[in-house]
Chain A
């Protein structure tokens, strides 16, 4: 099992230091076109792939050190932007704009998911038992359906003259085109992700609410605590381990944001880190997959999630060690 995961990881790490590309040689080519008095001749140097005996392109792999990383980070453009202290220019570089969106996406959806999930859980918990099964069923749908299809279903409500766009246009009395500005797409992506993950938070919190200690709730009532105080001082502390669990899972998943970019076809406006790697991996017009650049961008993505998770993992470790002694 470890083999299936560790070997690819190591191979990604190695590949990120190498470049494999068709071996080329530079040839001087003179092209002449007939003119009236003299021929017009242009000499240009072309890169021509070297072929072997079978007529296939020879690939060569060279060690390039950190070059792939600098390539992905576009370090030259970055230095330029920093030298001119022009921060907006940095965000025009693919990697940095992907990083900005991924982080923003992760940290904005996190509180929203928890709050919405908690609200729905409290609501369902106070309804009569007969209705609960049906509501849980409906709530599970956004969570369980294929992420791409979920995002598409929301996109189709807004795309072109989708009914919600028409409704918004009527309400705001102005023309709206959701998919032609970056921020509207981002808002829609945030909405989709909350819609998709809140049911998960809801189910977890709902299960947690079933085990709230009734005695402490009752004593809170006797002490004169109102609904809000009971929520803040009794229920939320009881749910705290679950809130941390949901945050952990959500951080991992939101950091991997990818399906939204594909479903909303937003690559011209908004991209995410995982989409960047994906984009390097799909063949370009010449059928060439830039695997080494993909490897270095994948490694950078991984470093990011490790940095985000270190505090949470350390906490789990401390709990474990503390629980034993």
Chain B
């Protein structure tokens, strides 16, 4: 970078730069880090006025268990290696397309590292008594809040609903989007620009407008659909499966447009040479395009996932209390929070919701960045 050369001449500017970078990192991570710390403490500690009490959790330490310096060092080491491993691992280009590759990176590896950590910390607990100061627990830690949220309040039901909705949204919008995006990328016409404008307009459409349109239909769908479906006509209100279509409708123009720009980057010569070799259009798509389209599909899928996972407005209005996904469920938690125990449970639920997103960024950082910039450069 050219600016780097000049910064070397100016210590003040360099100092300011580093200072601002540190300040920004603190600002960006502090609220998230803080609620994560809170969620592992007993309510007395979590809502203490003294920040040191929140961090070290003296009373949590007394009544529950805690981590020693050795454990902390271990945790830092494990996290560091996990981070290094996910960021630096070189992979073969054609390796990236395989589902198993992403599954290993996204799910299996973090689980292995966590398991390793708990296994080793069990080990250090055993020898902790013998090595004195280093092995003495100093950091209070309890899983009580998580236990009461996931087991006591049956948060796993909301988790399953979230899982249904997000899986549905991602697969439906990708399925439709890949076909439509490919077709639009190969047909040179004005449609592409019209699509861009439509995608922009729909992106700007407040979601409440769409929900207002869907809500009466969802509530009365039984009467409206019964002439066509007879007795089988379902009441769509409160069905996680029905939500999928609303979320897909909101996201679809954007998905198609994004996939279209990915397909445009795949040279036309590829499908043409396949056709010369005697493939039909469909076969060309199946054998030639599908193997090379995965980076684009993964990036687009990530954004569909985020939309479905983070949504509150649509899910809270169209689902009833029994079938809520995680985000609306947590809002009903903090609306009735009265005691500090309730509050700290809400905090634990919140951390449970963002934990998968944390792993998502860890694994897919490159894809997210490329997806964001792709939209900017093309738009």
Contacts and interface: CB of A to CB of B under 8 A. Distances in A.
Contacts of B354: 145-146, 149
Contacts of B357: 144-146
Nearest to B253: A1
Contacts of B292: none
Contacts of A246: 376
Contact of B202 (A5, A209, A218): A5
Contacts of B360: 144
A152 B28 contact: no
B17 A126 contact: yes
A135 B21 contact: yes
A126 B7 contact: yes
B327 A200 contact: no
B104 interface: no
B361 interface: yes
Nearest to B24: A120
Contacts of B294: none
Chain A binding surface, main DSSP class: helix
A75 interface: no
Interface string B1-39: 111101100100100011011001101110110110010
A4 B180 CA distance: 16
A274 B205 CA distance: 11
Interface string B31-63: 110110010000000010101001000000000
Contact of B379 (A156, A245, A262, A299): A245
A73 interface: no
Interface centre among A127, A146, A160, A221 (most CB of B within 10 A): A146
B219 to A, nearest CB: 8
A142 B28 contact: yes
Interface in A238-278: 242, 245-246, 248-249, 251-252, 255-256, 258-259, 262-263, 265, 273-274, 277-278
Contacts of B330: 148-149, 152
Contacts of A11: 213, 216-217
Given A203-B373, A227-B13, A291-B215, A305 B206 contact: yes
Nearest to A273: B206
Contact of A123 (B21, B32, B38): B21
Contact of B31 (A5, A153, A305): A153
B206 A256 contact: yes
B206 A15 contact: no
Given A135-B21, A294-B212, A305 B310 contact: no
A139 interface: yes
Contact of B209 (A1, A9, A124, A145): A9
Given A146-B327, A265-B335, A163 B310 contact: no
Contacts of A259: 312-313
A136 interface: yes
Contacts of B141: none
B358 interface: yes
Nearest to B47: A161
B120 interface: no
A317 B27 CA distance: 39
Contacts of B293: none
B155 interface: no
A140 B197 contact: no
A72 interface: no
Contacts of A131: 21
A246 B213 CA distance: 29
Contacts of A156: 31, 34-35, 38, 343, 347
A83 interface: no
B309 interface: yes
A313 to B, nearest CB: 7
Interface centre among B34, B38, B209, B353 (most CB of A within 10 A): B209
Contacts of B208: 258, 274, 277-278, 281, 294, 298, 301
A149 B209 contact: no
B376 A245 contact: yes
A166 B49 contact: yes
Interface string B169-204: 000000010001000000000000100010011111
B216 A147 contact: no
Contacts of B201: 309, 313
6 contacts: A1-B180, A141-B361, A150-B32, A227-B6, A274-B206, A301-B206
Interface of B: 1-4, 6-7, 10, 13, 17-18, 20-21, 24-25, 27-29, 31-32, 34-35, 38, 47, 49, 51, 54, 83, 87, 176, 180, 193, 197, 200-217, 245-246, 248-249, 252-253, 256, 306, 309-310, 312-313, 317, 327, 330-331, 334-335, 343, 346-347, 350, 353-354, 357-358, 360-362, 365, 368-369, 372-373, 375-377, 379
